[in-house]
């Protein structure tokens, strides 16, 4: 009998979630919601704790809406909670759905002799997609939003711009914005969430659903479309390569590229997509064509691989 993705080879083993009748998609959504709550609460506790330790808590409480002076505290707590919840928390939660001995393969924390090539192609694909992502960001920003949502979006944009153009060391910014998310978020989304949806539906739907959840999880409605596209593409890369490493490489390239560009050209971090801008149609066309070629190459590479994506 052929086993579904992520199922144990031990015919006598039944996971906790299966024994208790929890559908895989229910477990996936349960962890997405639980992780969100833990991440937000833990981040708030760490922020307040660090402000108390630094003696800045009273100043902060006088105007808690002005978070920009405390970005270092905020992003540090963010990274800590990503590591604790998205990475280690996911690994622990995954034990409810598989044997401890199979966690590595279950979460696709594995490599083979083609992983390096897949990672290189994944980085090329993400880089080649940037003009299309930029265009989608502009188009998404043209969708009118209620004032209270737009206000939240504006504050989010200010925070991100402050992080990208702040006076902290470039290496520190890279660690917080690129390295930590590219590892921790991949373990959660392309590792556990995608695997559980694969158990419940077809790979195509698992990829689309996981990509959508990834995009929505960032709570950036004005950037939802490009975030979903990135989520779908990175999820597809993980499925095709049967490893999180290419997905991590793509995620790192996307976030790290933004950090480097904002450091070199600070005005890029403050682009107002609500304003009219021009982008060379040839650049967009070249991006689409080159990205399509890379998708074809990656697809062809897995046709004859053993144990990879079907």
Asked whether residue 85 carries a pLDDT value surpassing 80, the answer given is yes
Q: In this structure, is residue 5 part of a structural domain?
A: no
Give ∠ CA 112-114-118 in degrees, rounded to 5.
120
Q: In this structure, is residue 11 part of a structural domain?
A: no
Q: In this structure, is residue 2 part of a structural domain?
A: no
The alpha carbon torsion through 159, 261, 232, 147 (nearest 10 deg) reads 30
Q: In this structure, is residue 310 part of a structural domain?
A: no
Q: Which two tokens stand for residue 228?
A: 């979903």
Q: In this structure, is residue 248 part of a structural domain?
A: yes
Q: Which two tokens stand for residue 147?
A: 């004032």
Q: In this structure, is residue 309 part of a structural domain?
A: no
Q: What's the rounded Cα separation, in Å, for the pair 266 and 56?
A: 28
- Its pTM stands at 0.88
Q: Which two tokens stand for residue 254?
A: 């996307």
What tens digit of pLDDT does each residue of 188-212 get?
999 999 999 999 999 999 999 999 9
* 147: confidence class by pLDDT, cuts 50, 70, 90: confident
Q: In this structure, is residue 55 part of a structural domain?
A: yes
* 274: confidence class by pLDDT, cuts 50, 70, 90: low
Domain, as residue range, for 264: 16-301
What tens digit of pLDDT does each residue of 216-254 get?
999 888 899 999 999 999 999 999 999 999 999 999 999
What tens digit of pLDDT does each residue of 23-76 get?
999 999 999 999 999 999 999 999 999 999 999 999 989 888 788 788 889 999
Q: In this structure, is residue 169 part of a structural domain?
A: yes
Number of Cβ within a 10 Å radius of residue 94: 25
Q: What is the tally of structural domains in the chain? A: 1
């Amino acid at each position: 009998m052929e086993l579904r993705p992520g199922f144990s080879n031990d015919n006598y083993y039944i996971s906790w979630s299966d024994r208790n009748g929890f559908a895989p998609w229910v477990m996936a959504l349960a962890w997405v919601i639980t992780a969100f709550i833990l991440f937000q609460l833990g981040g708030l506790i760490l922020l307040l704790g660090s402000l108390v330790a630094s003696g800045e808590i009273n100043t902060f409480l006088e105007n808690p809406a002005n978070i920009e002076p405390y970005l270092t505290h905020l992003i540090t707590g963010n990274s800590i909670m990503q590591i604790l919840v998205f990475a280690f928390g996911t690994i622990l939660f995954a034990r409810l759905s598989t044997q401890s001995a199979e966690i590595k393969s279950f979460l696709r924390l594995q490599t083979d002799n083609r992983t390096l090539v897949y990672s290189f192609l994944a980085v090329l694909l993400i880089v080649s997609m940037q003009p299309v992502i930029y265009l989608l960001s502009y188009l998404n920003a043209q969708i009118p939003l209620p004032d209270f949502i737009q206000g939240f979006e504006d504050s989010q944009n200010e925070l991100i711009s402050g992080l990208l153009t702040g006076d902290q060391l470039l290496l520190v910014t890279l660690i917080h914005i690129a390295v930590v998310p590219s590892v921790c978020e991949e373990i959660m989304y392309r590792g556990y969430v995608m695997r559980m949806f694969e158990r419940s539906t077809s790979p195509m739907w698992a990829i689309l659903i996981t990509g959508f959840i990834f995009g929505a999880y960032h709570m950036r409605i004005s950037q939802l479309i490009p975030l979903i596209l990135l989520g779908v593409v990175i999820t597809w890369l993980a499925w095709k390569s049967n490893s999180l490493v290419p997905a991590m490489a793509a995620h790192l390239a996307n976030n790290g590229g933004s950090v480097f560009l904002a450091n070199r050209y600070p005005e890029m971090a403050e682009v107002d997509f609500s304003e009219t801008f021009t982008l060379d149609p040839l650049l967009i066309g070249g991006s689409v064509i080159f990205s399509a070629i890379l998708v074809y190459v990656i697809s062809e590479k897995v046709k004859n691989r053993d144990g990879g994506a079907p």
